[in-house]
Amino acid sequence: MSKDFTDLTFGERIIAIRKSKGLTQKMLEEAAGIKREYLSKLESGHLLNPTLTTINKLASAFNVCPALLIPTTKEQSIELKKDLERLSLDEQLATAKASIAAITATLRELVVIAESLNILDAEIREGRKND
């Protein structure tokens, strides 16, 4: 007995929509800009926490509403929502860490420049005293 679409997992939904559109994984890879290996893992259920960006890319490639891809059983919806919120926070944290690293590197460069300017200033002052 086949499953009702509402009972399909995220990966099963991707397969069902992809096949209904007559697309291969390779074609979907090109249309969505998502690597085929990643698509395969999503379809097989090995990856259960796609980002909102991935969901939107797939929905756009399929020309469907992103909500159609998200499982609709209460438990699946709750778990996917938690995963998406966590990923969103993880992405925000990663961005913040990258920004802090860039600022730290810039500050280090500014310290080196300031030290060089202090040395140069001292040399100029010393040169003026000797004149």
pLDDT tens digit sequence for 69-79: 876 656 666 66
Mean pLDDT of the chain: 82
Buried b (16+ CB within 10 A) or exposed e, 30-41: ebbebeeeebee
CATH code reported for the domain at 1-72: 1.10.260.40
pLDDT at 27 > cutoff 90: yes
pLDDT per position as a tens digit, 38-49: 999 999 989 877
Contact present, 60 and 21 (Cβ < 8 Å): no
- In angstroms, the CA 90 to CA 24 distance is 31
Name residue 70's amino acid: I
Rounded to an integer, the average pLDDT of 5-33 is 90
Q: Over the stretch 66-109, which tens digit does the pLDDT of each residue have?
A: 888 876 656 666 666 666 566 566 776 776 787 788 788 888 88
CA torsion, points 35, 62, 46, 36, in degrees to nearest 10? -20
Predicted confidence (pLDDT) at residue 32 exceeds the cutoff of 50: yes
Percent over 90 (pLDDT), the chain: 28
